[in-house]
Structure 1
Protein backbone atom coordinates (compact mmCIF):
# COMPACT_ATOMS: atom_id res chain seq x y z
CA UNK A 1 0.00 0.00 0.00
CA UNK A 2 1.21 3.50 -0.81
CA UNK A 3 0.22 6.48 1.28
CA UNK A 4 1.36 9.95 0.26
CA UNK A 5 1.40 12.72 2.80
CA UNK A 6 2.25 16.34 2.12
CA UNK A 7 6.00 15.72 2.35
CA UNK A 8 6.53 11.94 2.46
CA UNK A 9 5.52 8.80 0.62
CA UNK A 10 4.97 5.68 2.74
CA UNK A 11 4.98 2.20 1.22
CA UNK A 12 3.73 -0.69 3.32
CA UNK A 13 4.27 -4.29 2.27
CA UNK A 14 3.58 -7.77 3.52
CA UNK A 15 6.14 -9.04 6.02
CA UNK A 16 5.19 -12.72 5.80
CA UNK A 17 6.28 -13.36 2.21
CA UNK A 18 9.49 -13.88 0.28
CA UNK A 19 12.03 -11.10 -0.27
CA UNK A 20 11.37 -11.31 -4.02
CA UNK A 21 7.63 -10.81 -3.46
CA UNK A 22 8.30 -7.91 -1.08
CA UNK A 23 10.51 -6.27 -3.72
CA UNK A 24 7.74 -6.70 -6.29
CA UNK A 25 5.12 -5.22 -3.95
CA UNK A 26 7.34 -2.20 -3.21
CA UNK A 27 8.11 -1.63 -6.88
CA UNK A 28 4.41 -1.96 -7.76
CA UNK A 29 3.71 0.92 -5.37
CA UNK A 30 6.67 2.87 -6.80
CA UNK A 31 4.99 2.28 -10.18
CA UNK A 32 1.92 4.14 -8.90
CA UNK A 33 4.15 7.00 -7.78
CA UNK A 34 6.04 7.16 -11.10
CA UNK A 35 2.78 7.03 -13.06
CA UNK A 36 1.41 9.91 -10.96
CA UNK A 37 -1.55 7.90 -9.71
CA UNK A 38 -3.46 8.96 -6.61
CA UNK A 39 -2.24 7.62 -3.28
CA UNK A 40 -4.42 5.14 -1.41
CA UNK A 41 -4.58 4.01 2.20
CA UNK A 42 -6.12 1.03 3.99
CA UNK A 43 -9.36 1.35 5.88
CA UNK A 44 -7.94 -0.45 8.89
CA UNK A 45 -9.29 1.21 12.02
CA UNK A 46 -5.84 2.02 13.39
CA UNK A 47 -4.49 3.81 10.31
CA UNK A 48 -6.30 7.12 10.92
CA UNK A 49 -4.70 7.16 14.38
CA UNK A 50 -1.26 6.26 13.02
CA UNK A 51 -1.45 8.75 10.18
CA UNK A 52 -3.59 11.71 11.12
CA UNK A 53 -4.29 14.08 8.31
CA UNK A 54 -5.16 11.36 5.80
CA UNK A 55 -8.76 11.57 4.77
CA UNK A 56 -11.03 8.66 5.75
CA UNK A 57 -12.25 8.57 2.12
CA UNK A 58 -8.70 7.91 0.95
CA UNK A 59 -8.34 5.19 3.57
CA UNK A 60 -11.57 3.46 2.48
CA UNK A 61 -10.58 3.67 -1.18
CA UNK A 62 -7.49 1.48 -0.69
CA UNK A 63 -9.29 -1.75 0.08
CA UNK A 64 -11.17 -1.51 -3.20
CA UNK A 65 -7.87 -1.51 -5.12
CA UNK A 66 -7.28 -5.25 -5.40
CA UNK A 67 -7.91 -6.11 -9.03
CA UNK A 68 -5.70 -5.91 -12.09
CA UNK A 69 -8.81 -5.12 -14.16
CA UNK A 70 -8.05 -1.47 -13.40
CA UNK A 71 -5.70 0.21 -15.89
CA UNK A 72 -3.75 1.92 -13.10
CA UNK A 73 -3.06 -1.44 -11.46
CA UNK A 74 -1.85 -2.96 -14.73
CA UNK A 75 0.37 0.07 -15.30
CA UNK A 76 1.91 -0.17 -11.81
CA UNK A 77 2.42 -3.91 -12.30
CA UNK A 78 4.18 -3.29 -15.60
CA UNK A 79 6.51 -0.72 -14.00
CA UNK A 80 7.43 -3.20 -11.24
CA UNK A 81 8.09 -5.96 -13.77
CA UNK A 82 10.27 -3.74 -15.99
CA UNK A 83 12.35 -2.50 -13.04
CA UNK A 84 12.86 -6.04 -11.75
CA UNK A 85 13.86 -7.25 -15.23
CA UNK A 86 16.41 -4.44 -15.63
CA UNK A 87 17.76 -5.11 -12.14
CA UNK A 88 18.29 -8.78 -12.97
CA UNK A 89 20.12 -7.85 -16.19
CA UNK A 90 22.30 -5.30 -14.39
CA UNK A 91 23.12 -7.85 -11.67
CA UNK A 92 24.54 -10.14 -14.37
CA UNK A 93 26.46 -7.57 -16.43
CA UNK A 94 27.78 -5.18 -13.77
CA UNK A 95 31.12 -6.20 -12.27
CA UNK A 96 31.09 -6.39 -8.47
CA UNK A 97 32.55 -3.41 -6.64
CA UNK A 98 35.84 -3.96 -4.85
CA UNK A 99 35.47 -4.79 -1.14
CA UNK A 100 38.23 -2.39 -0.03
CA UNK A 101 36.98 1.23 0.39
CA UNK A 102 40.12 2.72 -1.14
CA UNK A 103 39.79 0.42 -4.13
CA UNK A 104 36.11 1.38 -4.42
CA UNK A 105 37.00 5.08 -4.67
CA UNK A 106 39.62 4.41 -7.35
CA UNK A 107 37.20 2.12 -9.21
CA UNK A 108 34.49 4.82 -9.09
CA UNK A 109 36.87 7.57 -10.19
CA UNK A 110 38.17 5.58 -13.14
CA UNK A 111 34.87 4.04 -14.17
CA UNK A 112 33.35 5.13 -17.46
CA UNK A 113 29.85 4.34 -16.17
CA UNK A 114 27.58 7.30 -15.59
CA UNK A 115 24.43 7.07 -13.47
CA UNK A 116 22.67 3.76 -12.87
CA UNK A 117 23.31 2.27 -16.30
Structure 2
Protein backbone atom coordinates (compact mmCIF):
# COMPACT_ATOMS: atom_id res chain seq x y z
CA UNK A 1 0.00 0.00 0.00
CA UNK A 2 1.33 3.43 -0.97
CA UNK A 3 0.66 5.41 2.21
CA UNK A 4 1.84 8.69 0.66
CA UNK A 5 -0.79 8.34 -2.10
CA UNK A 6 -3.53 7.81 0.48
CA UNK A 7 -2.31 10.82 2.49
CA UNK A 8 -2.26 12.88 -0.71
CA UNK A 9 -5.90 12.00 -1.37
CA UNK A 10 -6.86 13.07 2.15
CA UNK A 11 -4.92 16.33 1.82
CA UNK A 12 -6.75 17.23 -1.40
CA UNK A 13 -10.31 16.90 -0.12
CA UNK A 14 -11.65 20.48 -0.11
CA UNK A 15 -14.23 19.89 2.65
CA UNK A 16 -13.96 20.96 6.28
CA UNK A 17 -14.32 18.02 8.65
CA UNK A 18 -16.27 16.72 10.29
CA UNK A 19 -18.53 16.28 7.31
CA UNK A 20 -21.62 14.17 6.91
CA UNK A 21 -21.65 11.22 4.55
CA UNK A 22 -24.16 13.13 2.39
CA UNK A 23 -21.88 16.19 2.18
CA UNK A 24 -18.92 14.01 1.29
CA UNK A 25 -20.86 12.06 -1.34
CA UNK A 26 -22.11 15.34 -2.83
CA UNK A 27 -18.50 16.45 -3.34
CA UNK A 28 -17.48 13.03 -4.67
CA UNK A 29 -20.45 12.97 -7.05
CA UNK A 30 -19.30 16.25 -8.61
CA UNK A 31 -15.72 14.98 -8.78
CA UNK A 32 -16.59 11.74 -10.62
CA UNK A 33 -19.53 13.11 -12.61
CA UNK A 34 -21.98 10.47 -11.40
CA UNK A 35 -24.86 10.41 -8.96
CA UNK A 36 -24.00 8.37 -5.87
CA UNK A 37 -26.85 6.40 -4.33
CA UNK A 38 -26.77 4.90 -0.83
CA UNK A 39 -28.88 1.76 -0.83
CA UNK A 40 -29.12 -0.25 2.39
CA UNK A 41 -29.25 -4.02 2.07
CA UNK A 42 -32.84 -5.22 2.30
CA UNK A 43 -31.82 -8.67 3.47
CA UNK A 44 -30.33 -9.79 6.75
CA UNK A 45 -26.56 -9.99 6.55
CA UNK A 46 -24.98 -12.15 9.28
CA UNK A 47 -22.49 -10.21 11.42
CA UNK A 48 -19.61 -12.46 10.38
CA UNK A 49 -20.08 -11.69 6.68
CA UNK A 50 -21.18 -8.05 6.70
CA UNK A 51 -19.66 -5.97 3.97
CA UNK A 52 -20.56 -3.16 1.65
CA UNK A 53 -20.69 -3.33 -2.10
CA UNK A 54 -20.05 -0.89 -4.92
CA UNK A 55 -21.67 -1.04 -8.33
CA UNK A 56 -20.55 1.40 -11.00
CA UNK A 57 -23.18 2.10 -13.64
CA UNK A 58 -23.04 4.44 -16.66
CA UNK A 59 -24.68 7.33 -14.84
CA UNK A 60 -24.36 6.50 -11.13
CA UNK A 61 -22.68 4.50 -8.44
CA UNK A 62 -24.62 2.45 -5.92
CA UNK A 63 -23.15 1.82 -2.50
CA UNK A 64 -24.79 -0.96 -0.52
CA UNK A 65 -24.38 -1.03 3.26
CA UNK A 66 -25.82 -2.79 6.30
CA UNK A 67 -28.50 -0.58 7.95
CA UNK A 68 -28.37 -2.73 11.12
CA UNK A 69 -24.86 -1.62 12.01
CA UNK A 70 -24.17 1.38 14.25
CA UNK A 71 -23.91 4.81 12.60
CA UNK A 72 -20.14 4.55 12.96
CA UNK A 73 -20.15 1.08 11.36
CA UNK A 74 -22.31 2.32 8.49
CA UNK A 75 -19.96 5.26 7.87
CA UNK A 76 -16.98 2.88 7.87
CA UNK A 77 -18.65 0.50 5.42
CA UNK A 78 -19.67 3.32 3.06
CA UNK A 79 -16.33 5.10 3.23
CA UNK A 80 -14.47 1.84 2.53
CA UNK A 81 -16.34 1.65 -0.78
CA UNK A 82 -15.59 5.35 -1.39
CA UNK A 83 -11.93 4.50 -0.79
CA UNK A 84 -12.01 2.20 -3.81
CA UNK A 85 -13.38 5.08 -5.91
CA UNK A 86 -10.80 7.61 -4.73
CA UNK A 87 -7.98 5.12 -5.18
CA UNK A 88 -9.25 4.43 -8.71
CA UNK A 89 -9.53 0.70 -8.13
CA UNK A 90 -11.09 -0.79 -11.20
CA UNK A 91 -13.64 -3.55 -11.23
CA UNK A 92 -13.53 -6.41 -13.62
CA UNK A 93 -14.76 -6.06 -17.17
CA UNK A 94 -15.09 -9.82 -17.45
CA UNK A 95 -17.94 -10.70 -15.17
CA UNK A 96 -21.32 -12.24 -15.31
CA UNK A 97 -24.09 -10.55 -13.36
CA UNK A 98 -26.56 -13.18 -12.28
CA UNK A 99 -29.88 -12.85 -10.49
CA UNK A 100 -29.30 -13.08 -6.75
CA UNK A 101 -30.02 -11.26 -3.51
CA UNK A 102 -26.87 -9.23 -4.11
CA UNK A 103 -28.15 -7.87 -7.42
CA UNK A 104 -31.78 -7.36 -6.40
CA UNK A 105 -33.28 -4.42 -8.28
CA UNK A 106 -30.39 -4.02 -10.74
CA UNK A 107 -30.68 -4.43 -14.46
CA UNK A 108 -27.51 -6.43 -15.30
CA UNK A 109 -27.09 -4.52 -18.57
CA UNK A 110 -26.59 -1.27 -16.60
CA UNK A 111 -23.62 -2.54 -14.64
CA UNK A 112 -20.23 -1.45 -15.99
CA UNK A 113 -17.93 -2.36 -13.11
CA UNK A 114 -18.14 -4.50 -10.02
CA UNK A 115 -15.40 -4.86 -7.48
CA UNK A 116 -14.84 -8.60 -7.77
CA UNK A 117 -12.76 -9.98 -4.95
CA UNK A 118 -11.33 -13.42 -4.55
CA UNK A 119 -9.87 -12.37 -1.21
CA UNK A 120 -10.19 -9.54 1.25
CA UNK A 121 -6.49 -9.41 2.17
CA UNK A 122 -5.23 -7.81 -1.04
CA UNK A 123 -3.30 -4.55 -1.27
CA UNK A 124 -6.37 -2.88 -2.81
CA UNK A 125 -8.56 -3.92 0.12
CA UNK A 126 -5.95 -2.80 2.65
CA UNK A 127 -5.62 0.60 0.96
CA UNK A 128 -9.41 1.07 0.72
CA UNK A 129 -9.76 0.11 4.38
CA UNK A 130 -7.00 2.49 5.45
CA UNK A 131 -8.46 5.40 3.47
CA UNK A 132 -12.05 4.49 4.39
CA UNK A 133 -11.17 4.42 8.08
CA UNK A 134 -9.70 7.91 7.89
CA UNK A 135 -12.68 9.22 5.92
CA UNK A 136 -15.11 7.66 8.39
CA UNK A 137 -13.16 9.21 11.26
CA UNK A 138 -13.56 12.63 9.67
CA UNK A 139 -17.32 12.03 9.30
CA UNK A 140 -20.11 12.38 11.83
CA UNK A 141 -23.75 11.36 12.14
CA UNK A 142 -25.92 8.83 10.40
CA UNK A 143 -25.51 8.33 6.65
CA UNK A 144 -28.78 10.21 6.05
CA UNK A 145 -27.77 13.28 8.14
CA UNK A 146 -27.67 16.50 6.17
CA UNK A 147 -26.62 19.06 8.80
CA UNK A 148 -22.85 19.03 8.69
CA UNK A 149 -22.71 22.54 10.20
CA UNK A 150 -24.16 21.20 13.46
CA UNK A 151 -21.54 18.45 13.57
CA UNK A 152 -18.75 20.98 12.89
CA UNK A 153 -20.04 23.23 15.69
CA UNK A 154 -20.21 20.29 18.08
CA UNK A 155 -16.64 19.31 17.17
CA UNK A 156 -15.42 22.71 18.38
CA UNK A 157 -16.81 21.94 21.83
CA UNK A 158 -15.13 18.52 21.72
CA UNK A 159 -11.79 20.21 21.03
CA UNK A 160 -12.30 22.74 23.84
CA UNK A 161 -12.95 19.93 26.37
CA UNK A 162 -9.58 18.31 25.62
Which ranges of structure 1 fall in alignment gaps of 5 or more residues?
95-117
Structure 1 stretches of 4+ with a deviation exceeding 4 A read none
- Select 1:76's aligned residue among 128, 133, 143: 128
Higher strand share: 2
Instruction: After TM superposition, list the pairs within 5 Å mapping 1:53-92 onto structure 2.
Output: 53=109, 54=111, 62=116, 64-67=117-120, 69-87=121-139, 92=155
State the partner residue of 2:108. Answer: 52
- Select 2:78's aligned residue among 26, 30, 33: 26
Q: How many residues align?
A: 90
TM-score (norm 1): 0.58
Higher relative contact order (CA 8 A, sep 6+): 2
Q: Secondary structure at the match of 1:21?
A: helix
TM-score (norm 2): 0.44
Let me know the Cα RMSD of the aligned residues. 3.4
Distance in 1 of aligned mates of 2:86 and 2:106: 25
Which ranges of structure 2 fall in alignment gaps of 5 or more residues?
1-52, 141-151, 158-162
